[in-house]
Amino acid sequence: MKTIKLIFSTVFMFALISIQTNAQEKKKNSDIFYIVDEMPEYPGGEEAIRKDIAELIKYPAEARKKGVSGKVYITFIVNELGGIERPQIARGVDPLLDKEALRVMNLLKTWKPGKQRGETVKVSFTVPINFALDGGSKNETTVATDDEEPVFLIVEEMPVFPGGKEALGTYISKSVKYPEEARKERIQGKVFVSFVVAKDGNVKQSKIERSIHPTLDKEALRVINSLPTWKPGKQRGKLVNVRFTVPINFALSNGDNPNKELKQ
């Protein structure tokens, strides 16, 4: 008999990385940031949000009977008071799973709000929640690979990018070159890329989870594949492979700074 395993891709603490062209800085309270000086923090950190989501989620009985599973991407805003605003499905799987994912997001605790230049601001996040019917252990979340070496999604010591979360966002923002073809055709949107941080800290097995356009997909993969070596993750004291999912938003507007806030 199948057991239910809820797998959470490790993008919880990564704000949506927005690569923009022609954006002018705004200073209005309604503006939404994607990368800020002090990122919002969930009470207890990444482990706590994973635990809370796992405890709150109830796999829909109808979806379970039908064998429905998959990854639901949710975007939401952590406002100036730490509350969650405008949770919405960025990429759905099934109405039943989408509805449950949204229900849980609305039940999360109040965050410590993010700050930009000393002021609390709104920050956008993207969270992928993978509903999976699986016969494996409930205590460890892994996915299979071609070489049969397990790849974990959640481990006791998560991989760390040199300089931390903000450094990763900065690296990607500075590395992305908006494809000229996409610029001319005004093509924009979110590209979701998954990759594995191997036991040696190198990035491998990058792939597009959600495509927008071949030129944007190609550029997103190029940047991810150029990432420097990470501090690898550990499970039970041993180095392990860990998969991440990173959403990169290619957006065209009226300025040229990649990390300024966007109006929605």
Calculate ∠ Cα 162-110-153, nearest 5°.
40
Residue 130 lies in a domain: yes
Tens of pLDDT, residue by residue over 19-72, are 444 333 334 446 787 767 787 888 887 778 878 888 888 899 999 898 898 888
Q: Mean pLDDT per segment of 10 residues, for the chain of length 264 residues?
A: 45 46 42 77 81 86 89 88 91 92 91 89 82 56 50 78 87 91 90 91 91 93 96 88 85 55 36
Q: What domain range is 122 assigned to?
A: 3-255
How much is the pLDDT for 165?
81
* Residue 52 placed within a domain: yes
* Number of domains making up the chain: 1
What CATH number did the domain enclosing 20 receive?
A: 3.30.1150.10
Tens of pLDDT along 211-220? 889 999 999 9
- Identify whether 264 is part of a domain: no
Report yes or no on 38 lying in a domain.
yes
- Global pTM reads 0.52
Decide if 27 is inside a domain.
Answer: yes
Q: Does residue 16 lie in a domain region?
A: yes
* Residue-averaged pLDDT of the chain: 78
Of 86, 26, 90, the closest CA to residue 263 belongs to: 26
